[in-house]
A = this chain, B = another copy of it.
């Protein structure tokens, strides 16, 4: 691993999480690096447009080029492009907002957001992240991850986002097992009070989980008994369709968990 590149990436990560602008000294403190080292890295990153400096204050922030890269990632994402049509159809069919998400570290990130057809004003959540343990998408992905990676997720520390967030390893392990047997994950106000979700995993041609697809919205509307049954069927069918498009062969067997290796 190349030291300076890794440090540069850590700087970008630091600028991207928490305070939007940071000074050289502060960055050096957080990453345990000497001031001139951070300075050199920042100047290089600035020249590439990945970071920009406020000439007035001297502080640094992320540069516009990272947004351009983010857009390029979306444009090139196979999961996204392959799921857009089916996600749109699902949104119209069940009249709910649809998300397509991937796992990045210990959070799921929205790569596609299909608006609920009936609502006029909605905010786009593409690029937003939610801790994996607090949403249906995270559970759906975790349930089909190789054992080792799933354990890694369970071992990391977690914090509660609402009063209903499940954080205990054993509780989560049980929840994941249920997901694996049913093929769908359900979340009830574990990330935001009032909101719920329902998601199923998406597999690729090697039957690996590459993400999850599902619906989000008011918990009371999504999780009412009738709606829930209808949504479960529609979501699993759509996710299965996307998986098939990606070349997956073993499509959510009845016993859930796929064998890995």
Contact = CB atoms under 8 A, between A and B. Distances in A.
A5 interface: yes
Given A12-B48, A70-B73, 15 more contacts: A1-B43, A1-B44, A2-B40, A5-B44, A12-B69, A16-B69, A16-B72, A56-B205, A62-B72, A62-B76, A64-B102, A67-B70, A67-B73, A68-B127, A70-B70
Interface stretch (A103-111, A156-164, A174-182, A185-193): A103-111
Contacts of A1: 40, 43-44, 47
A152 interface: no
Contacts of A127: 67-68, 70-71, 74
Contacts of A48: 6, 9-10, 12-13
A70 B67 CA distance: 4
A5 B43 CA distance: 10
Number of copies: 2
Contacts of A70: 66-71, 73, 127
12 contacts: A2-B41, A5-B41, A8-B8, A13-B65, A15-B72, A20-B76, A62-B69, A64-B73, A64-B104, A68-B70, A69-B69, A70-B70
A48 to B, nearest CB: 4
Contacts of A43: 1
